[in-house]
Amino acid sequence: MKIGVMGGTFDPIHNGHLIGAEYVRTSLNLDKLIFIPSGNHPFKNNKNISEPNKRMDMISLAISSNKYFELSPIEINRMGITYTIDTIMELRREYREDEIYFIIGSDILFELEKWKGFEELISLCKFILLYRSGQEDSINKKIKDLKISYNIKIEKVKSPLIEISSTEIRNRIKNRLSIKYLVPESVEEYIFKYNLYNGENLHE
């Protein structure tokens, strides 16, 4: 099988995530794509991230209509700081004979060499770069440099330009602005049912 892995905070998951994931799945003919919400992220201030069960609930609602999408809690369930190398090693134990593709954005491409266990990581999985128009020159140069230095395997998938971010969605809710069409309807209903992103549901 060809298995895609999309990690992130997903606070909340939005239509940009879903559209990008489906573009990747169909472009590379993946057999399934696993969404993995982050646990204790080494590069983020985790105290302001919503509770793990809330983020997982929203992902579950968002992907329920796509039989190729799955949700995994492996980073949520892991104690301590969450590193991608640990996640991929765990997936590799489960999917020993399958191809694993880790999905990254163009911003991550330029940070990959700083990741914990980078050289081991690239031996355990391939990468899918989800990029937008106008980024070709810089990413092509970086990919070429990485291939020369590390023989890394990176597939490119061009994504439609969709300017949606989880930060924008949270800010719109705080400012009492509509988030309709930014997130799936089921996720919008969940957010307002549990009164998320007005500060009361976040860790102090």
pLDDT(200) > 60? no
pLDDT(47) > 70? no
Tell me what percent of the residues of the chain surpass a pLDDT of 70.
Answer: 94
User: What's the CATH number of domain 2-163, 3.40.1390.10, 1.10.730.10, 3.50.50.60, 3.40.50.620?
Assistant: 3.40.50.620
- Closest listed residue to residue 116, CA positions, set 56, 42, 192, 186: 42
Residues in the chain: 204
> What is the mean predicted confidence (pLDDT) over 117-133?
94
pLDDT at position 45 is: 55
Q: Would you kindly state where each structural domain of the chain is located, as residue ranges? A: 2-163
Contact 7, 55 (CB under 8 A): no
pTM: 0.92
The sign of the CA dihedral 9, 13, 16, 17 is: positive
Indicate the residue type of 59: I
Is residue 134 very low, low, confident or very high in pLDDT (cuts 50, 70, 90)? confident
pLDDT at position 58 is: 98
Angle separating helix axes 52-63 and 185-193, nearest 10 degrees: 150
- Closest listed residue to residue 22, CA positions, set 157, 139, 184: 157
- Closest listed residue to residue 35, CA positions, set 12, 138, 44, 167: 12
Burial (0-12, 13-18, 19+ Cβ within 10 Å), 82: buried
> How far is residue 154's CA from residue 127's CA, in Å, rounded to a whole number?
5
Q: What letter would DSSP give residue 133?
A: T
pLDDT at position 198 is: 85
pLDDT(201) > 50? no
Contacts of 114 (CB under 8 A, 6+ apart): none
pLDDT(204) > 50? no
Compute the mean pLDDT over every residue in the chain, rounded to the nearest whole number: 92
Mark 87-109 as b/e (b = at least 16 C-beta within 10 Å). bbeebeeeeeeeebbbbbebebb
